Amino acid sequence: MVDQVNHWIRPDFVQFIGDNVQNAEEDEFQLFRDLRGRLTVPSHALVGDHDVGEDSSIERFTKHVGEAYGAVSKHGFRFIHLNTLEFAPVGLSSEQLSWFRDEVDRSLAVDERVVVFQHHYPYKVYEEFAGPGIDGWREIVQTRRIKAIFTGHTHYGQIANDGRNVAITTRSIGDPEGGPPGYAIAYLRGDDLALTYRSTEDRGPVALITHPSDLLLATGREHIVTGLDWIHVRVWPIAAIRDVRARLDGGMWFPLRMAGTNDTNEWVHALDGEMLAKGEHQLEVEVVDDDGLKASDEIIFQVDPTGR
């Protein structure tokens, strides 16, 4: 996975979502530290319950990993990393909560889009997301525009959208549920948010529809197709790409073109939303490389001339 990230995916950064070790032992943290050291891109790590263990002061985590919470800006986004383990089993101190509120407000004031990373998934069915500071956390995320909340803890992948905020939890690398281990790839650019998962069993390229927005990830009128628009597909190729094609609502396939003469990773095609009926529509994309290996992606998107 490290080699794929370094030489193929080449993201802006890698986010470890917590439970980086199993029992919070020194040798485990050293192993994790060595693994992070192999990455050639920046990385950040959250505190998970397995990173605490019996070390409630998280001295081993801060020694080997770093600060328990913080924030960084990149490409017009403010990425905020929270520590939801200040109280067991979940909770935030008043100090961190105040810092979180100020970070969000300052970021929004300078037109940065806010993305939150935290270990605990707020919609886990059999484990209540409740504890000290959680009511304050809810007040912040429900009264301010948060682009996305990325989490872990569950061991399975899931997305929850309450119409205002999107919470995304990804499958764990160790002891995963719902399929083989791997890593999530998140695409954030302007108003666009797209997501896919690469497992250890997958082969060939990766294809990701980045625009229009998947209805599951849509939280505002900016994610609705209202007229003339574009299809955008991000491809991570291993071999040279032979063909990228798409179709709408199970119709005829049509080819996409490279977005730029020197860019084989971005593929586009015009989308005439004025010719589509109001409502939900299916978009499928298929990519084939010179080795004959394929990748595909599929979304449901919304069309409404009024933008509602």
Domains in the chain and their CATH numbers?
2-190 (3.60.21.10), 215-303 (2.60.40.10)
**Mean pLDDT across the chain:** 94
Question: In which band, very low, low, confident or very high, does the pLDDT at 262 lie, cut at 50, 70 and 90?
Answer: low
Instruction: Kindly tell me if the per-residue pLDDT of 261 is higher than 80.
Output: no
Tens digits of per-residue pLDDT, 121-157?
Answer: 998 767 889 999 999 999 999 999 999 999 999 888 9
Tens digits of per-residue pLDDT, 169-219?
Answer: 998 887 778 888 899 999 999 999 999 999 999 999 999 999 999 999 999
Q: The whole model's pTM is what? A: 0.94
Report how far apart the first and last C-alpha atoms of the chain are (Å, whole number): 41
